[in-house]
Amino acid sequence: MDNGIFEIVRNIAEEQLMVSGEEIKPETRFINDLGADLLDTIEMTMVIEEKCGIKILDENLVNLATVRQIVDYVSRQLTVNKKIAQSFTAADFQI
């Protein structure tokens, strides 16, 4: 698990859900443990997307119940985006 992404997710959850950062561990469940509702999770998702520069698809959101699941998902998306960016060359952008 990426500790940098964990800190981002923890800070967002702490701010959005008004909970102590000490309550937020990798295995913490947003709804069951932190009392988040659907609107809370959507708002957190939007902030995570903005801060990390990724898109979390709605169909994937239902499988992201714990902090670790979100951190791992964000990490995978960032890796995919980096690989895609590296696959382009300057020639790909010539007009």
Catalytic residue among 2, 33, 37, 92: 37
Q: How many CB atoms lie within 10 A of CB 35?
A: 11
58 carries an active-site annotation: no
Per the rule left: phi > 0, alpha: psi between -120 and 50, beta: everything else, 53 is left
Closest CA to 54 of 84, 26, 74, 28: 74
SS3 content of the chain, % helix, strand, coil (to 5): 65, 0, 35
Catalytic residues: 37
